[in-house]
Every structure is written in C-alpha cells, then in structure tokens.
Chain A
Amino acid sequence: MAALIGVFGDIDVAEDAVQEAFAVALRKWPGDGLPPNPGGWITTTARNRAIDRLRRESRGRELLSEVGLFSPGNEDSGTSEEMGPVQDDRLRLMFTCCHPALSTAAQVALTLRLLGGLSTKEVARSFLVAEPAMAQRLARAKRKIKAARIPYRVPEEHELPDRLRPVLAVVYLVYNAGLSSPAEPSLCSEGSGWHGSWRRSCPTSQRWLACWRCCS
C-alpha cells in the first residue's frame, strides 16, 4: 500500500489497486503456485492495474502525467519484478497519516487501516464505534489529505521534533489498544514492529527510547 501511495500520491487509487491485485492472486495462485516474491508480485500487479484503469479515465490520465507514468517507455511487461525497498514508503505513509492537520482520532484510524492493514470493521471495533461511522471518518480523512495537499514525505530535520510527537502518540495508542482489547492482540505486535522500524530509521531521537520503554 505504502509503495503504491508513493507512486500515485492518491490513497483511493492505491487501495482499489491493492484490492484488485489480491483478487487476481486468489484466482491465479492456487493454480500457478506462489510466486518467489509474493509481496513484490502484489505490488507490481496492483501498480499495472492502476495504470491501466487510470489510462481509461480522463482525470486518471491527468494524474498519470503528473506522476510521470503516462509514457510508453514506462511499460512493464513482467509481473514478478521487485518494486524496491518499502521501508521508506512506510515511513512516509506513517508521517502522512499522523500529520497535525488531522485529528488524533483520524490519525490513529488511518494508521490502523493503511499501515496496520486492518479492515474498516476491525478499526471500528478497536474504537468501539459502528462501522459506517468509522467508514465516514476514514473517508473524511482521506478527502482532507487529497484536498488540502497533505504531502507524502518524511519531514525535514528541523520539522522532526514536532512531527515525531503525533507519530509516537499513535504508536503508543495502537500498542495500548492491543493490550486492552483481547480481540486485537496483533495490535501490540504492530505497534512494537512499527516502533522498531522507526527506531532504526531515526536512531538519534531520545523520544523513541522513552516510547520503547513504555511499549516493552
């Protein structure tokens, strides 16, 4: 997901593409067998499907030319090539989901949905709200990201102190949600996992250490 959002800069396009790719995988893999790099296969298939779909829509063609994909030279013939490291994309997505222009509730919900891979129903359960209400919250947050142009990037060095705060808060909240919710124990490992990755990416921050002590 993170890699595709990085390519297209549009969460809805990325989500639809990933869903389609999974549907294709469910059809093909039982017969063809697992590809050597299932994650890369999904990402590449999703990317190609998205490009095909966007080419058919006029707004989509505009988007493609914006991201520099609408040219014959960018055709991919294979479906099993690697997309490259996703760690940077996940970091970018984390900072986007936790942007201060979004409310804390929206930040946590988006992070669970887009980085945690939880379904809307599962996110709603974590918040103890009805699924339609959560769907609306997620849709509103994605609309804001698009309309207000919340950028898809890791903040600059001087911005990091302020921008790290909501990210740490969300990691902590996700971890706590796992602790207090018997239905979602995987949230604990998600929270710790993210913390580990970000710790390696930003080793100089003392705040990571403090957060890690809380989560351990």
Chain B
Amino acid sequence: MTQYLLSVHSVEGEGRDPMTEEEMRQFMERVGVLEEEMKSAGAWLFGGALHEPDTATVVRMSGGEVLTTDGPFAESKEHLGGFYIIEAEDIDAALAWASKTTAAVSKPIEVRPFRHVSEA
C-alpha cells in the first residue's frame, strides 16, 4: 500500500461566477458522498478544503533568522484549494479515487505518491 496526495487546484479568476446556494448544497453533497465512500473503503487518511490563499502565512529561514511573510508561498494565479491523503494499492487505485474527486469538485486533481520511510 502506498500513500498518495490528491491535491485540488484552482485558478484565480477563471471567469466562473460564485456558486448559488443550491449549487453549493449540491457541491457539499457530492463531496460528502465521496468522503464517505473513501472512508468505507479504508482509503481516506486525512483531507479537507483550505481557506483562500490570502489567509496564508509563510515562514522561512533568511540570514540565520526566521522570517514571517503575509500571503501564500506561490505568487501565482494557481493555488491549492484542498487535498486528500489516501492509501491505495497502486496508482490505478489512486487514479480511480482522483477521477471521482475531480468529478465531485470540478477541478483538476494532482496525484502524487508519498515516499516510503526507507526511501527518504
């Protein structure tokens, strides 16, 4: 079994109007069904949606000191909307979950394997 990160990617200003209440309700229902399915299958390890990128803070080493900056790490239009960490037999199983996720959230999903402890 391997752990995979399924990350949800958004592009700022894609030209879509904000969701109506009904659309939001349907969205939450789809996501709820998906997460329930992942949990029943024993695939779900952790996951959730993130707040907007402007709520982020970056901490890094600079000149031997810790520097704190307001805003997301990447100054780009694309940002991380949320993620799931799942456990799957192989990439085919991980891609199957990613297919269901992209269908539920209507956003591209990147699938990336975690290193095993022995590979670190």
CB-based A-B contact count at 8 angstroms: 26
The one of A59, A62, A149, A159 in contact with B90, judged by C-beta atoms closer than 8 angstroms, is A149
What B residues does A149 contact at CB under 8 A? 2, 89-91, 94, 113
Q: Name the interface residues of B101-120: CB closer than 8 Å to any CB of A.
A: 111-113, 115, 118
Interface size for chain A: under 10, 10 to 19, 20 to 34, or 35 or more residues?
Answer: 10 to 19
User: CB of A161 within 8 A of chain B?
Assistant: no
In the complex, the answer to whether B118 meets A151 with C-beta atoms within 8 Å is no
The one of A62, A150, A155, A159 in contact with B91, judged by C-beta atoms closer than 8 angstroms, is A150
Instruction: Give A65 Cβ to nearest chain B Cβ, in Å.
Output: 12
What B residues does A151 contact at CB under 8 A? 89-92
User: CB of B80 within 8 A of chain A?
Assistant: no
Chain A residue nearest to B92 (CB atoms) is A151
- Residue-wise, chain B 87-100 has the 8 Å CB interface mask toward A (1 for contact) of 00111101100000
**Residue from the set A59, A151, A155 with the largest chain B CB neighbour count within 10 Å:** A151
What B residues does A26 contact at CB under 8 A? none
User: CB of A101 within 8 A of chain B?
Assistant: yes
- Residue-wise, chain A 88-124 has the 8 Å CB interface mask toward B (1 for contact) of 0000000000010100000000000000000000000
What B residues does A150 contact at CB under 8 A? 90-91
Q: Kindly state the separation between the CA atoms of A99 and B95 in the bound complex, as whole angstroms.
A: 12
In the complex, the answer to whether A148 meets B113 with C-beta atoms within 8 Å is yes
In the complex, the answer to whether B118 meets A101 with C-beta atoms within 8 Å is no
Q: Kindly state the separation between the CA atoms of A39 and B115 in the bound complex, as whole angstroms.
A: 36
Q: Kindly state the separation between the CA atoms of A37 and B112 in the bound complex, as whole angstroms.
A: 43
Chain A residue nearest to B1 (CB atoms) is A149
Instruction: Give A143 Cβ to nearest chain B Cβ, in Å.
Output: 11
Q: Kindly state the separation between the CA atoms of A59 and B113 in the bound complex, as whole angstroms.
A: 19
Given contacts A148-B113, A149-B2, A149-B113, contact A62 B118 (CB under 8 A): yes
Instruction: Give B92 Cβ to nearest chain A Cβ, in Å.
Output: 6
What B residues does A59 contact at CB under 8 A? 118
Q: Kindly state the separation between the CA atoms of A147 and B120 in the bound complex, as whole angstroms.
A: 12
What B residues does A148 contact at CB under 8 A? 91, 94, 111-113
Instruction: Give B89 Cβ to nearest chain A Cβ, in Å.
Output: 8
- Residue-wise, chain B 62-102 has the 8 Å CB interface mask toward A (1 for contact) of 00000000000000000000000000011110110000000
In the complex, the answer to whether B113 meets A101 with C-beta atoms within 8 Å is no
Chain A residue nearest to B4 (CB atoms) is A148
Interface residues in chain B, defined as those with a beta carbon under 8 Å from any beta carbon in chain A: 2, 89-92, 94-95, 111-113, 115, 118
18 A–B contacts from the bound complex (CB under 8 Å)? A99-B91, A101-B91, A101-B95, A147-B113, A147-B115, A148-B91, A148-B94, A148-B111, A148-B113, A149-B89, A149-B91, A149-B94, A149-B113, A151-B89, A151-B90, A151-B91, A155-B92, A159-B92
